[in-house]
A and B are shown apart, each in its own frame.
Chain A
């Protein structure tokens, strides 16, 4: 996707906008630039672009990893339609994304706003709140398994203080997915919080001062100054969170193994099982291309939508 996610930084200064930019690459400068780009470019080609192309080819084959592949045409894509587990996994992934992304944004933004209120030792709080994000998901997932234990777990113990009898979170049809979402929000809010905090600190104070002079209420100040000025950061966090949540895997694998039933089987988990446990590489590749298409379409939609809602400081 060739759309700039941070135009505020890269947009040329107004004085330059009047003159048409002319390419100034000269031999040595271009070579140096390419040298710096090269490691990233090689990595991208080998580990991202290459596998995407390979997945496209593999999706057209029947391949069990060990025997020679045979041509399948579009058969692997046709298998998706009548496969109830695929649709269940897709639905679960959509549910996870639609609930976890807004929740993560709200929690991140709320904490960033809190930390931006002149809190003393903000760096300490920022670091503490960033810790869940910096911790590996596997470790966090195991801790949360203990927190969710029906009778002795901390979550239900806390609910018990308020007279609420908590559910058997990870083995409940209705509560297993919310349990994963809650853990994921806790795990990932730190990233958004840091981005929002940086965005908040970059908002010129004179805008708020002007608002105060005009008698703007705190809510209106947030609504008409903070949100518009924060919209590039908001957009960035929404896009990255959305892509990340479509690829949710580790926590579901460790905490519920996709159960009970298929209630928490996510699309990436199903792709992994199809490809590496059932040795059906062609079908797994077809599923991953569908997931890729979903992510591309949704991200492209977000980029189109952002033109109307995201305000860049240029």
Chain B
């Protein structure tokens, strides 16, 4: 059967059909989302191996809670932005993963709720099984805002094969070496253009470990001013920059954005790498024998940065059944069972002491991670951050990397940065005051 249709009629029909499809698409788009009663949680995930761990977490949640687990996985670089948009639009999951450095940022702005009332009302849950540093990282302004799932100090990775080849005795597995010894070793192991003594990221995240070991910090105890210009911090900064610029014991920096200490270390021609146990899973792919040792000790001892990640509950979660489910989900995601899955996969050291045994070698000396956290060996320092840490990091990220390139001296960089850092510290204190007033 043939139907005659005018051109105008055809165009009109096409227009209406288009509108119809658009409307149907809009309705379909609006109706998508997790089913009611589902245990929703969000997490960063940047690799297939990482996704596998979170899939296993999801299965564990379903097994324990008997509800559907819906995980929203986002690559780590885009995770904060996506989380922000979800929090603002009221579409955030019941439980969201947070990097430890951002917990004060979110807590101070009221994006996540304090958990103390939930913890106090639950006789089955105790924070005692979590490392002190993990609990400290999850707190802001005297309240617990997040519960950790991993926590670990920065350690020093070393290439055993390379040291053996050079006839250099392997360093002590438990006693941190002094900075002077470390520097001498790095110089001894460096053959310009072929082999290097040391690698770390040209960024504040790695510099703070040296600063803490020298007895310094980025900010004063009350966070009212920057202390990067204090003698202790300056000594640490100058020491690291000298390794790059003066001693040239590090691989040449090719690009400040893509510079990766792990990538350098995996080449097999770098003796020492500063990094955390979260890279153990990647370092296991190395084609040489390697291990980890405590971070070199400065004037204040071996006190490298301790960092961790946690789960938190957004403020938008409604009281009642929704909050009950969120709390059950939070407990499940941070339970020994779940953290066993995480640790067995080698992702990082779990935040619970009871899950520690699941984080197994290689490397041989992996046990020092938990000994450092427990205070039995060397030491660690929780990563002190502000409620505007992104801004502080941005500012430091502008000028500090130039010192690694020798473009600016350490004193010049710090003198230029300090007034602006002090302003950010004052803004941080204002934010804390506002957050305190809001609670009151």
Q: Footprint of B on A, CB under 8 Å?
A: 28, 32, 35-36, 38-39, 64-67, 145, 148-151, 168, 170-171, 173, 254-262, 265, 273, 276-279
**4 further interface pairs, Cβ-Cβ under 8 Å (given A65-B84, A168-B254, A260-B402):** A66-B87, A171-B254, A254-B257, A265-B398
Count: A-B pairs, CB below 8 Å: 94
Contact A277 B394 (CB under 8 A): yes
Known A-B contacts A66-B109, A259-B398; the reply to A39 vs B257 at CB < 8 A is no
Write the chain A residue with the least CB distance to B420. A84
Interface flag for B12 (CB, 8 Å) = yes
Q: Mark B250-264, 1 if CB is under 8 A from A, else 0.
A: 001111111000000
Write the chain B residue with the least CB distance to A255. B257
Question: What are the nearest 8 A-B pairs in CB distance?
Answer: A35-B15, A66-B109, A66-B111, A277-B390, A257-B257, A149-B254, A278-B391, A260-B402
Interface of B is mostly: helix
Interface size class of chain B, counting residues whose CB lies under 8 Å from the partner chain: 35 or more
Distance between Cα atoms of A256 and B401 in the complex (Å): 12
8 Å CB interface, B379-438 against A = 388, 390-391, 394, 397-399, 401-402, 405, 407, 438
Distance between Cα atoms of A273 and B8 in the complex (Å): 50
Contact A259 B397 (CB under 8 A): yes
Partner of A66, one of B8, B110, B398: B110
Known A-B contacts A39-B22, A66-B88, A259-B397; the reply to A145 vs B109 at CB < 8 A is no
Interface flag for B18 (CB, 8 Å) = yes
Interface flag for B11 (CB, 8 Å) = yes
Contact A67 B110 (CB under 8 A): yes
Interface flag for B81 (CB, 8 Å) = yes
Known A-B contacts A65-B88, A261-B398, A261-B402; the reply to A32 vs B109 at CB < 8 A is no
Known A-B contacts A259-B398, A278-B391, A279-B109; the reply to A35 vs B19 at CB < 8 A is yes
Partner of B16, one of A35, A145, A151: A35
Residues of B within 8 A of A261 (CB): 398-399, 402
Residues of B within 8 A of A258 (CB): 398
Contact B12 A278 (CB under 8 A): no
Known A-B contacts A66-B87, A67-B109, A279-B109; the reply to A256 vs B391 at CB < 8 A is no
Contact B405 A260 (CB under 8 A): yes
Partner of B8, one of A32, A38, A279: A32
Distance between Cα atoms of A276 and B105 in the complex (Å): 12
Among B22, B81, B105, B255, max chain A CB count under 10 A is at B255
Residues of A within 8 A of B254 (CB): 149-151, 168, 171
Q: How far is the CB of B247 from the nearest CB of chain A, in Å? A: 19
Partner of A150, one of B8, B252, B407: B252
Q: How far is the CB of B19 from the nearest CB of chain A, in Å? A: 7
Contact B390 A278 (CB under 8 A): yes
28 contacts between A and B (CB under 8 A): A28-B8, A32-B11, A32-B15, A35-B12, A35-B16, A36-B11, A36-B15, A38-B19, A39-B19, A39-B22, A64-B109, A65-B88, A66-B88, A66-B106, A145-B258, A170-B255, A255-B257, A256-B256, A256-B257, A257-B256, A260-B407, A261-B398, A261-B399, A265-B398, A276-B84, A277-B391, A277-B394, A278-B390
Residues of A within 8 A of B391 (CB): 277-278
Known A-B contacts A170-B256, A260-B405; the reply to A273 vs B394 at CB < 8 A is yes
Write the chain B residue with the least CB distance to A35. B15
Residues of B within 8 A of A150 (CB): 252, 254
Known A-B contacts A149-B255, A171-B255, A276-B84; the reply to A257 vs B397 at CB < 8 A is yes
Known A-B contacts A171-B405, A259-B398; the reply to A39 vs B255 at CB < 8 A is no
Q: How far is the CB of A171 from the nearest CB of chain B, in Å? A: 5
Q: How far is the CB of B241 from the nearest CB of chain A, in Å? A: 15
Distance between Cα atoms of A170 and B16 in the complex (Å): 52
Contact B15 A259 (CB under 8 A): no
Write the chain A residue with the least CB distance to B253. A171
Distance between Cα atoms of A260 and B258 in the complex (Å): 13
Distance between Cα atoms of A256 and B258 in the complex (Å): 9
Write the chain A residue with the least CB distance to B399. A261
Q: How far is the CB of B317 from the nearest CB of chain A, in Å? A: 14
